[in-house]
Structure 1
């Protein structure tokens, strides 16, 4: 037996509460930030996360497309990036342990709890990829301004555009901080050694923790660049104000001499 799983980043976030209220299926497990469905009548599984990721198991192309369109009505902002990841679960009753590979995991038998752990890790991986793309864009744009400083000794960016850039950086970082829980282990692994082992192997396979640390490091680089840009802009504004004061004093002296 083989189950195909696919995780897709659809939006920046979902309204989980509203989705749960309107999706006509019994919840297998969930919280305010995620919800997992075991649709046993057609052997499908669905895992929805409030950070905009949906994970499908045993969905064909048509059913997946219909579900994605349905999910978009609960999205706050659609992500226009092709971010998805596929994985497989293969059963082999002769096994006495879990075997995790790059694109599949082999287990003795499949149940809803095991599926949930696998789908959770794939969802986390896609979410991290989304944030990696966003931070790459921020670093690329900051490199442009750094190159400009090196070549011309000044920044051509306006104060308004710099503030917009700062806002974009802070928005990305806040989004990541808000979703720090994606690295947390689910409660069901605490009392089940087999699921705990599977969860740890999958985290290692998808490089969940190293990727998050790298993400945090790159965001810190961008923040340091922002501090530099802000200082340069403040110096530029101070110099401009100094010239304005000098001109006003000069005008005052000229007017005083003229009337005297």
Structure 2
């Protein structure tokens, strides 16, 4: 038996509560931040996360496309990037331990709990990829300003555009902080040693913790650059104000001389 999985980053955010109330299927399990469906009649499984990721299991292209169009009605800011990850679950009844590889995992048997753990980790991996793309864009744009400082000794960016840039950085940072829980171990693994081991192996396979640390490090670099840019802009504004004061004093002196 083989189950084909695919995770997609569809949006920045899903309204899980509204989606659950309007989707015509009974949830197998879920919370305010995620919902898992076991559609046993068609042998399909579905995992939806509020950070904009959907993980499909055994969905054909048409059914997948139809569901994506449906769930976009509950999305905030559709992601236009092609961010996806595929994985497989194979079964071997003679296997006495779980075997995790780059593209697949082999187990003795598949149940809903095991399936959820695998789908969860794929979803986390795609979400991290999305944030990696966002931070790469921020670093690339900050490099442009750093090169400008190096070559010209000044920043051409206006105060308004700098504030917009700061807002974009903080928005990405807050979005990541809000979704920190995606790295938490699910409740399923607490009392099940086999699932706990599977979860740990999958996190290593997808480099979940390492990638998150790298993501946090790169965001810190961007924030440090922002501090530098803000300081440079403040110096520029102070210099401008000083010149305005000097010009006003000069005008006042000229007027006083002219009238006396």
Common topology (TM > 0.5): yes
SS in 2 for 1:77: strand
Deviation string 1:187-234 (CA, Å, 9 cap, x unpaired) is 011001111010000000000000000000000000000000000000
Cα distance in 1 for residues equivalent to 2:172 and 2:99: 36
Match of 1:170 in 2: 170
**Does residue 1:203 correspond to 2:171, yes or no?**
no
Matches within 5 A, 1:13-52: 13-52=13-52
Match of 1:137 in 2: 137
**Does residue 1:84 correspond to 2:87, yes or no?**
no
Matches within 5 A, 1:152-167: 152-167=152-167
Cα distance in 1 for residues equivalent to 2:23 and 2:92: 34
Cα distance in 1 for residues equivalent to 2:37 and 2:185: 19
Cα distance in 2 for residues equivalent to 1:28 and 1:96: 28
SS in 2 for 1:88: strand
Cα distance in 1 for residues equivalent to 2:42 and 2:120: 21
Runs of 4 or more above 2 Å deviation: none
Cα distance in 2 for residues equivalent to 1:48 and 1:17: 11
Cα distance in 2 for residues equivalent to 1:153 and 1:203: 45
Match of 1:244 in 2: 244
The structural deviation recorded for 1:24 is 1.1
**Does residue 1:126 correspond to 2:126, yes or no?**
yes
**Does residue 1:11 correspond to 2:30, yes or no?**
no
The structural deviation recorded for 1:26 is 1.0
Cα distance in 1 for residues equivalent to 2:97 and 2:187: 21
Deviation string 1:133-163 (CA, Å, 9 cap, x unpaired) is 0000000000000000000000000000000
SS in 2 for 1:154: coil
Give the TM-score of the pair, scaled to structure 2.
1.00
The structural deviation recorded for 1:54 is 0.2
Match of 1:183 in 2: 183
SS in 1 for 2:77: coil
SS in 1 for 2:76: coil
Give the TM-score of the pair, scaled to structure 1.
1.00
Match of 2:257 in 1: 257
Cα distance in 2 for residues equivalent to 1:9 and 1:24: 22
The structural deviation recorded for 1:177 is 0.0
Q: Could you list the runs of 5+ residues in structure 2 that have no partner in the other structure? A: none
Cα distance in 2 for residues equivalent to 1:127 and 1:44: 22
Match of 1:94 in 2: 94
Match of 1:72 in 2: 72
